[in-house]
A and B are shown apart, each in its own frame.
Chain A
């Protein structure tokens, strides 16, 4: 799946305001199709309240959902403002994800 198509599908689930962070396009494009589908299913489940989240101690009312794969070093963080909207979908390599996690306080 192309990253543009994935973004469209994710926007359809979370809304148009969602932003894509990290090296989203490059990483998404390099994933196997099964992993690409896994991300979209995961996003849908986060939206439906079927996944647990971390809460930030740095940014008020920020929730972070985490997705990690076993067979590669990519990670995803989906952030949400509590009781409101989803903010961003971050997808990148482990080292950038670590920095992002620290920045977000989760």
Chain B
């Protein structure tokens, strides 16, 4: 059984009010449904009305109109995967009743995929687990307000509709920390794709408010990783992204602070090679903004 309340948004509910009240819901029922969507605590009476009357009417509507799952980025999704994803959502919805759930990742758009990512939004902290090729990832209740959620939901099939705005803010220091981390991982020959994804997602968002979908993100990160000199490309990329993203004085102050922290070696040691690269990038960025 799908949960229609997961498909409703406050905006839709308000728009539909003239058609709903009093024909389908009384004003009281309408208010209760609205309170529920706002995640307000319902009184005992309201809970009774919600569970015994309102929810049942919603369920009837699902069956009556044969409402399918919420599909985002349908143009990117392979046709055969929609059916398979819907079937997976049906199966896992039985296991995780009334929980918001979405399928995202390369399974939806790529011929080859390693695993199938199912994301479940939970109020409680739970351990992710694997079920064969299926990877169940639990996300916190407030995840819908994050850039990460916007990224994974841009190409997704879900049992709910989300209309939450991103409430995260990324300071220049956050972007530079991700940049420094990626370069360090490359230099020490570590696996760095997840960190590169973090950097690119945020850099795109702060520069032009672009919310990438997972396919676009894969294209950018693949291009960087497969290039002959990823460090050089990332250096240029970061300069281009940050110079347009922040107020000049904020940018200058942060870059100078980062140059300063990366300028003094330990006694008897040389400055780390990665610090030289960071400072070169920051100096170039300063020249551009100057």
Contacts and interface: CB of A to CB of B under 8 A. Distances in A.
B261 A57 contact: yes
Interface size class of B (residues with CB under 8 A): 20 to 34
A105 B178 CA distance: 11
A52 B186 CA distance: 11
Contacts of B180: 54, 106
Given A57-B257, A66-B185, A83 B177 contact: no
B278 to A, nearest CB: 9
Interface stretch (B48-56, B151-159, B229-237, B269-277): B269-277
A49 B269 contact: yes
Nearest to A80: B266
A51 B194 CA distance: 21
Contacts of A106: 177, 180-181
B258 interface: yes
Contacts of B266: 49, 63, 82-83
A78 B118 CA distance: 33
Interface string A55-84: 111000001001111100000000000110
Interface string B250-282: 000000011001101011010011110000000
B15 interface: no
Q: Is the interface of A mostly helix, strand, loop or mixed?
A: loop
Contacts, number: 52
B255 to A, nearest CB: 11
B177 A52 contact: no
Given A68-B191, A83-B266, A83-B267, A52 B184 contact: yes
Contact of A51 (B173, B188, B275): B188
Given A66-B184, A68-B185, A68-B190, A57 B258 contact: yes
A16 to B, nearest CB: 22
Interface size class of A (residues with CB under 8 A): 20 to 34
B188 A52 contact: yes
B35 interface: no
A88 B142 CA distance: 31
Contacts of A13: none
A57 B181 contact: no
Contacts of A68: 185, 190-191
Nearest to A45: B188
B178 to A, nearest CB: 10
Given A54-B180, A66-B185, A101-B181, 12 more contacts: A52-B275, A53-B184, A54-B181, A55-B262, A66-B181, A68-B185, A68-B191, A82-B264, A83-B267, A106-B177, A106-B180, A106-B181
Interface of B: 173, 177, 180-181, 184-185, 187-188, 190-191, 194, 257-258, 261-262, 264, 266-267, 269, 272-275
Interface of A: 49, 51-57, 63, 66-70, 82-83, 94, 101-102, 105-106
22 contacts: A51-B188, A52-B187, A52-B274, A52-B275, A53-B184, A53-B272, A54-B180, A55-B275, A57-B173, A57-B257, A57-B258, A66-B185, A68-B185, A68-B191, A69-B191, A70-B190, A83-B267, A94-B194, A101-B177, A102-B177, A106-B177, A106-B181
